[in-house]
Amino acid sequence: MKKGLLTAVSLVLAISSPALAQSDRETSAGAAKPVKLGGDERNPQRQAQPQRTLPQTPSDVVKTSDTQASNNDPARAGQEVRPKSKGLIPPPPPGTTIGKDAGDVVSAKKKKKKAPATAEATKDITVASATYRLTGGKSEEQFTTLFNWQPDDPKDPITFTAKFSPLGGGGSNFNWLRIMMGGKMLYNERTLQGKTSVIMDMTGQVPNGTNQMLIQAQGGTGATLEWKLTTPIKVKLTSVNPDEVVVGGDLTLKGSNFDTSPAKDIVTIGSKTVSVSAATSTELKLKIPKNFTPGETTVKVAVNGLESKPLKINIRGIPELTGTNFNGVPPGAELTVFGKNFSKKLGENQVFFGETPGAVVSGTTEQLVVVVPNFSAGLGGIAGQVGIPIKVKVGKIESSNTVPVTIGNSIWEDPGLNFGPNVPQVPVDWRRLLEN
C-alpha cells in the first residue's frame, strides 16, 4: 500500500512541476494576478483576513496614475483604490510642505496672499425684475414687463443685470435671444454670443415714468432668462430743524438712510460743506459756522455719492443795532434805526419800542425806517418817556442788543405857568430840542 501511495505522489509532482515552474517565471518577471477589490476574486493569502471597513472621506480616496501602479498590488491607471491608512498617500513633490492635516499640500513657492480689503458694498434696491422660461417649439416667444422709474435726479444710477441659458446647442438653450427696453435694442444673439450673463449701466438711459422691458426668443423647453434693474439705496432728507437758524447755531437734519459714521454724511448748505458732529441712520446734527454768509439757501445730504433732494433753509446773521437818527421822537413820527443783518425782505423785519411794535415802512440790511407807535395819552411833559429800549426782530431772531430813545408829545405844558386855569401850551420842536 505504501508503494501505491508513493507512486501517486510522484505522478502528482510530475504533473504539477511544469505549472510551478511557469508560476516562478511569472513571479520573477513581475507579473501578478489582478486583485478585484470588493468582488469575489481575492488573493488566496488574504482570504483568511477579515475585511476592513475604511473611512468614507474624500481624503481616503487616491486616484492612481500609470506611474503609481504597484507591482505588489497593481491597479489599472485611473482606478480608485482605498489605501490602508493615510500613511499610504503618495509623498508631495519636491518644493512643497505638508499642512496641519495629512493631505493638505501647500506650495512653498506660492504662498496664499491675503485678500485685499474691499470697500463696503453699496446696498441696492430692485426697481423691477422678472424670470422668463421658454415652453419650447419652433415659434418665437415674447415676454413683456412694465415698470416705473421715478428718480430724484436724472443722474441717479440704475443698472441692468441678466442671467440666461446658453445660446446654441440642444436641450434647454436659446437658439436666439433679443432684449429690448423702450424700443431700444440692448442685446441680441450676436452681442450675446458665448455669454450667459450681462451687466449694463443704464444711468440716464431710462426715461422717467413707465417703461417696458421686452424679451423675444426661441429655443428649447426650459430655456430661462432672469433680469433685474437695481439702484443704490439713496439718502432722503425730510426735515430741517429749525428751518431758520443763526450763524453759529445748531441744526438738526432728519431723514433716512444716513450713514452712522458722521464723516460719510456729506452735508452741503448753499455751496459750502458743513461737518456733521453726530449721526444716526435717521438724524444728523451739525453747527452753522459763524463766518457763514446769511441768506436763504438750500441744504442737502449725500451718502456714497448719491444726493438727497434739497430743502430750503434760512441762515440768519444775528441782528445788531448801532443807533437811531434821533435821540427823541414823538408818536406817529418816522424814526430810522441803524444796524446790520436786517432782512432784505421788508416783511421779515420787526421793530419794537419796549414791547410795542412800530410799523416798518422801508429799509435795507443796514437800516430800517419805522413809524413810532401811538402810546397812551399819559405821555406828557418835556421828558416824556425817556430811554425806551428799541429792539429789532428778523424772522424769529432777536437783535443781540437794544438802543434807547425818548418818546414824548409834540406839545408840552410849561410847568412854571401851571398855577391857573388857562395854562399856555408850547409846541416843541423835538428835532432841535433833542439834537442840542
Predicted local confidence at residue 103, as pLDDT: 38
Residue 39 has pLDDT above 90, yes or no: no
Beta bridge partners of 389: 404
Q: What is the DSSP string of 224-283?
A: EEEEEEEEE---EEEEEESSEEETT-EEEEEEES--SSGGG-EEEETTEEE-EEEE-SSE
**pTM of whole model > 0.85?**
no
CATH fit for domain 320-427, picks 3.10.129.10, 3.40.50.1700, 3.20.20.100, 2.60.40.10:
2.60.40.10
Give the largest Cα separation in the chain, rounded: 191
- Which grid coordinates belong to 136? 419650447
- Give residue-wise pLDDT tens across range 161-186: 999 999 987 789 999 999 999 889 99
Per-residue pLDDT band for 429 (boundaries 50, 70, 90) equals low
CATH architecture group of domain 236-316: Sandwich (2.60)
Residue 360 confidence class, pLDDT cut points 50, 70, 90: very high
What share of the chain in percent tops pLDDT 90? 47
Residue 123 has a pLDDT of 77
Q: Which three cell numbers stand for residue 142?
A: 415674447
Peptide bond preceding 116 in cis form (omega within 30 of 0): no
pLDDT tens-digit profile of 49-62? 444 443 443 333 33
Q: Does residue 31 surpass a pLDDT of 90?
A: no
What is the reported pLDDT for 250? 94
Q: Give me the residue spans of the domains in the chain.
A: 124-232, 236-316, 320-427
Instruction: Work out the average pLDDT over 231-237.
Output: 91
Q: Do domains 236-316 and 320-427 have the same CATH topology?
A: yes
Region 274-291: what's the mean pLDDT?
94
**Is it the case that residue 211 has pLDDT exceeding 60?**
yes
336 CB burial (10 A radius; 0-12, 13-18, 19+) = middle
φ, ψ dihedrals at 228, nearest 5°:
-155, 155
Q: Spelled out in words, what is the top-level CATH class assigned to the domain 124-232?
A: mainly beta
Q: What are phi and psi of 225, to 5 degrees?
A: -130, 130
DSSP state of 6: H
